[in-house]
Chain A
Amino acid sequence: MTLRGLTKRYGDDHAVRDLDLEVSEGEFVCLLGPSGCGKTTTLRMVAGFVEPDAGSVVIDGRDLSSVPPHRRPTSIVFQDYALFPHMTVLKNIGYGLRTQRVPDTEARRRVGAMLELLGLENLGDRYPNQLSGGQQQRVALARSLVTEPKVLLMDEPLSNLDAKMRIRLRTELRQLQKRLGLTTVYVTHDQEEALSMADRIAVMDRGELQQYATPHELYHHPANRFVADFIGLNNLLPARCDLVRGGEVLLRLDDGQAVTAAEDARGHVPAPGDRVLLSMRPEDLTPAPRDEPAGAAGSAGSANRISGKVVGHQFLGALSRYLVRVADQDVLVDEYDTTGPGTAGEITLTVPASRIRIFPDS
């Protein structure tokens, strides 16, 4: 499936702007972004509920622009499931087969297989209001799957469930998708969900695509400041570029401390004198008392030492999280060895040059 230059305006505001996206067969893609960034609108344009102002949706080489929703090879699972309240589970699931002129016996077989696949065997005669949230979710999924869509669309299908259920269904859903080899576009604003399920994630902000990459790439090589800030925790420190030399970028924090970053082929390469933002993950910063030489991380040359002062500390069980004041900015630092007494006061943070990303400061 390919989206080309997809654009939708409501009034003067762009809900989605010039969106290009390519989804390979059998791939599980998450649309991720903050509320109101245009995820649902994108999905609805793919399903055909919303007419794009520009751009096209192409599936299997076929442009769907003039194809109405009921003839598209897509099927959507709604956020609140939209199960028909006046039909039993069986009728709900079989609903899409009626228009496909599937013979009765064949239809019954397929619905039965679907019930079995999703563990709904005993619930066929119930009405939606007699089902739990998780069961409703599975019925909605079955109703879409039974029509054998080329692309399955899901709009925050787990957001109405409690946390435990969400994690369980997440795994089930992903396994099912892999087993069926189903091309899937999954909308969520929960980054953990996206990171754990997706083959690739499309991060959106204010209607525009920010980055489209694997979860690993996204986390470790965010393409811009928004993605760096949005995915996981990140520290953003303003600095100035002094010199670019032999694969290294020499920088200076606002309080004069020098920091060296490795030049990132995929990242931004500043010119000397540019204002930039350094981004560092809390887990890449290793704290040590000021007078002690930094631990194993300090394999000389590529590691930076930054001074700061601990102003806060949270014990979170698996890790200790410090709030450290560096160059008048607050920096989060995670320490994974929590057996010791922890550090306080003036400390030194060690960070490998390769773990620092650089973004232009606008």
Chain B
Amino acid sequence: MTAVAPRPPRVRPAPPGRASRAARRLVREPVTLAVTLFIAAVLIVFVLWPTVNVFLRPDAEHWSRFLGSARMWDVARNTAVMTLLSTVSATALGFLFAYALSRPDIPGKPFFRIMSVLPLVSPPFVIGLSLILLFGRRGLVTYELLGLNLDVYGLPGLWAVQTMAYYPVAVLVLTGVLRRQSPALEWAGRDLGHGWWGIFRTVTLPLAVPGLASAGLLVGMYVLADFGNPLLVAGSYRVLAVEAYHQVVGTFDLGMAAVLCVALLVPTGLFFWLQRAWLERRSYVTVTGKESTLDPVPTPAPVRGTLFGLLCVVSGFMLLTYASVFAGALTKTWGVNWTLTLQHFEYTLLRAGDLTNSTLYAVVAGFACAVFAVLAAFFIQRRPLVGRGAMDMLAVLPGALPGTMIGIAWLITFHTGPLAITGTALIVVLMMTVRTLPVGYRSGVSALQQIGPSLDESAQDLGSGSLRTFRTVMLPLMRTAFTAAFIYAFVKSINTLSAVIFLVSPGSQLASVSIMGLAEHGYWGEATALAAGLMLVTFAALALFRLLTGGRVKLFEL
């Protein structure tokens, strides 16, 4: 299971004539019918309806105001520049990192691999937070140590933060790509007279191009949709996600916010579609069994040294980032009073309910996501449904939607009307569930693909109804997929920010949202203590997962 790539499974469209037979069979099986209707209802209400609403909400006036405003054009241009820069640098860094990890003669790889995964399992805004702690106006490095009066707020700071926050996505994709390259090809290049650089330039790199493009699009999607880091460090450099947020919280102009969401969704959707539909088929699969005992070509010492140095610098920076967050949590007043204290931890862990809420909601959402994902995978893939292609698409759609957009979509849809549930804890949990559904669903589908239809058919043959087949045959076999979906959903939910920020209310405050507020007002101690708490809970959950599965299943490559 990949943490970052909810690939839509290929569902064969049912040939005509099948549909009516499927319908008849459904009527004969009331349980299947009921469950199917339930799944369809959930997908329609919580995925399709809000998405459609974002498009319907703005009227012509909103659009003309958006298109006529020079400020909005600035925001759009800022977003494009920021996305382009961060995507290129994060992908390039990710490629070098992955290349170094794929070489046999670089020491310390397990450590570096873990360092490259950490950002995927901690709140992405932690990097922004630590940038301010280290290099901000009162930053430890810039102000205290170097005596500089540097302003990191703005594009340069944001660029650096997003590069560090999202290069792991590229590493994850590209280690897979590079691992699949046959060493024989590099050896062939060597045999025909090329040195390291020649092979890298003419063989390794060109073969990785489809993978690089794929990684780049994925990174682009994340960067574009990122909300926490720009909110923290972009300052007056406005990007679409932040501007949409301000339209909601500042003026409650939902129409304008929806317009911005659409503007955000178009490129994201395009990246998503390109990445899935086109690039997936273009990769060079060069795996061959025959030359398998051939070790990869050795790397020349200077290159090895450079790569190792790069790994060290990046990982060192990562360590520094996390260390600064924990240090911030233990410091009385960052930048002013460096005395050690436990008061922030005491406050966040014991007195404020945010972390408890976050944990509790994430557990419920994780469970709901796992149940629903596995159920949906089984019924959509294995039962003769009408419109299963559409349902399949709806189940993976949230993976393509920026968090800010879903958040605003839900605000528009559920603030008034038949399902006015904003302000409740329920809507927060539901949001977490829906946002993590695509990955859970995909892991359920791939587990099903390994099980094979004959098993489930034979159970039916022996007289099991659908639900019974599911419970007695499929569920035990899908237990691993279930656990993986649960932990994934938990980790992502506890750290999520961009969508839930629109839905929390005083009664259902979340740690990630509180951190933003605390940081905005300069309460670094409390903010970092909360962030540290989030990370500790996350790491504990991952450790538990490893314990439960005995390390058989990899989550985030850990």
Interface string of B169-199 (1 = CB under 8 A from A): 0000000000000101101111111110010
Q: Tell whether, in the assembled complex, residue B192 and residue A75 are in contact, meaning their CB atoms are under 8 Å apart.
A: yes
Nearest CB in chain B: distance from A177 CB, A:
18
Q: Does B291 contact A (CB under 8 A)?
A: yes
Q: Chain A: which residue is nearest B181 at the CB level?
A: A85
Q: Chain B: which residue is nearest A95 at the CB level?
A: B192
Q: Check A78/B193 contact, CB under 8 A, given A85-B207, A86-B284.
A: no
Q: Tell whether, in the assembled complex, residue A80 and residue B193 are in contact, meaning their CB atoms are under 8 Å apart.
A: no
Q: Tell whether, in the assembled complex, residue A99 and residue B187 are in contact, meaning their CB atoms are under 8 Å apart.
A: no
Q: Does A82 contact B (CB under 8 A)?
A: yes
Nearest CB in chain A: distance from B187 CB, A:
6
Q: Does A96 contact B (CB under 8 A)?
A: yes
CB proximity to B under 8 Å, residues A120-151: 143-144, 147
Q: Does A158 contact B (CB under 8 A)?
A: no
Of B188, B203, B206, B291, chain A has the most CB atoms within 10 Å of the CB of B188
Of A80, A83, A144, chain B has the most CB atoms within 10 Å of the CB of A80
* Complex: A69 Cα to B198 Cα, angstroms: 13
Of A68, A75, A82, A96, chain B has the most CB atoms within 10 Å of the CB of A82
Q: Tell whether, in the assembled complex, residue A80 and residue B291 are in contact, meaning their CB atoms are under 8 Å apart.
A: yes
Q: Does B288 contact A (CB under 8 A)?
A: yes
Nearest CB in chain A: distance from B343 CB, A:
58
**How many residues on chain B are close to A (CB under 8 Å)?**
25
Q: Check A75/B288 contact, CB under 8 A, given A82-B184, A84-B203, A86-B207.
A: no
Nearest CB in chain B: distance from A264 CB, A:
39
Q: Chain B: which residue is nearest A72 at the CB level?
A: B191
Q: Check A76/B286 contact, CB under 8 A, given A84-B203, A85-B207.
A: no
Nearest CB in chain B: distance from A205 CB, A:
19
Contact of A76 among B182, B191, B284 (CB under 8 A): B191
Chain B residues contacting A40 (CB-CB under 8 Å) are: 293
Q: Tell whether, in the assembled complex, residue A82 and residue B188 are in contact, meaning their CB atoms are under 8 Å apart.
A: yes
* Complex: A82 Cα to B189 Cα, angstroms: 9
Nearest CB in chain B: distance from A124 CB, A:
18
* Complex: A83 Cα to B188 Cα, angstroms: 8
Q: Does A49 contact B (CB under 8 A)?
A: yes
* Complex: A79 Cα to B185 Cα, angstroms: 12
Q: Tell whether, in the assembled complex, residue B184 and residue A96 are in contact, meaning their CB atoms are under 8 Å apart.
A: no
Q: Tell whether, in the assembled complex, residue A85 and residue B286 are in contact, meaning their CB atoms are under 8 Å apart.
A: yes
User: What is the interface of chain B, defined by CB distance below 8 A to chain A?
Assistant: 182, 184-185, 187-195, 198, 202-203, 206-207, 209, 284, 286, 288, 290-291, 293-294
Can you list 25 contacts pairing A with B, beta carbon distance less than 8 Å? A47-B191, A49-B190, A68-B190, A70-B194, A70-B195, A75-B192, A76-B187, A76-B191, A78-B188, A80-B184, A82-B188, A83-B188, A85-B284, A85-B286, A86-B206, A86-B284, A96-B192, A98-B198, A99-B192, A143-B188, A144-B191, A144-B192, A147-B192, A147-B193, A160-B290
User: What is the interface of chain A, defined by CB distance below 8 A to chain B?
Assistant: 40, 44, 47, 49, 68-71, 74-76, 78-80, 82-86, 95-96, 98-100, 143-144, 147, 160
* Pairs of residues from A and B, 6 with the lowest C-beta to C-beta distance, nearest first: A96-B192, A99-B193, A82-B184, A82-B188, A80-B290, A80-B288
